[in-house]
Amino acid sequence: MKHYFNNKVIWITGASSGIGEALVKNLALNTNAQIILSSRKEDLLHAVAEKAGLPTNRYAVIPLDLMDYKNMPDVVSKAIEKFGRIDLLINNAGLSQRSLALETDIEVDKRLMDIDFIGTAALTKAVLPYMISNGSGQIAVVSSLMGIFGAPMRSGYAAAKHALHGFFDALRAELYDQKIRITIICPGFIQTDISINAVTGDGSKQGTMDDATNNGMPVDIFAKKMLHAIEKKKNQQAIGGKEVLAVYLKRFFPGILAKVVRKAKVV
């Protein structure tokens, strides 16, 4: 892994906690990559970089709000100014949901779509001209198992993640001749604050940790597996525990999966 990521400029969104923070930590320890850290929380980004032991010449902090998707060209210009290029963009930032569809305000659905899909697509589109000009690049996007199948309490979230798959699958084919590779990562239950920060039907935070998330894969282990998938230029990789088996049920036994999902504990 060290050789692949060495000498690359890597931009990680959602880098202030969870998966993003674990990726920064792993890359700081095992590579000499230069890292751009983004999220809405600028102070936390500096703290993550310092905790990871990154020297000041190896990282830059660029605040980013995916809701502000029209501003992405300006944000990307600032990123390019830092290190001159972007070799790998890791679209990790996002928002989850814990509410029944009929109890979810449509504005909450729109917010999920704006953050998890539109903002991510806008950032990617703004980065691509620079990668094409450089003649290579890689984009990784953190989707979810909910990008492959839906489950109760995740309707808006699953819709946004399904949109990511459609967009990036199409983009992968369009950019193949430009030597730009696309990797979609589909986490299962990972030990992060995703459920604590998830929105409920009225848009407020859930504020509690789901049992399934609390008992999920440790985030540092996940980050290692994710970076391995990126290195191998996987088109798509599901990572997690036994819940990943649902991907195969979806493909080969969709009727069985439908029954399982109706009865599964998803929080």
Tell me the domains of the chain and their CATH numbers. 2-263 (3.40.50.720)
Measured CA to CA, the distance from residue 180 to residue 174 in angstroms comes to: 9
Burial 142-173 (b: 16+ CB within 10 A, else e): bbbbbbbbbbbbbbbbbbbbbbbbebbeebbe
Residues annotated catalytic, as ranges: 157
| Cα-based distances in Å from 122 to 155, 196, 247 | 22, 26, 28
Q: What is the pLDDT of residue 210?
A: 94
- Taking alpha carbons only, the member of 10, 70, 61, 8 closest to residue 39 is 61
pTM (2 decimals)? 0.96
Q: What is the pLDDT of residue 126?
A: 98
- Three-class HEC string of 118-130: HHHHHHHHHHHHH
* Token pair listed for 249: 């049920």
Return per-residue pLDDT of the chain as tens, 267 residues.
568 999 999 999 999 999 999 999 999 999 999 999 999 999 999 999 999 999 999 999 999 999 999 999 999 999 999 999 999 999 999 999 999 999 999 999 999 999 999 999 999 999 999 999 999 999 999 999 999 999 999 999 999 999 999 999 999 999 999 999 999 999 999 999 999 999 999 999 999 999 999 999 999 999 999 999 999 999 999 999 999 999 999 999 999 999 999 987 666
The continuous run of DSSP H or E covering 36 comes out as: strand 34-38
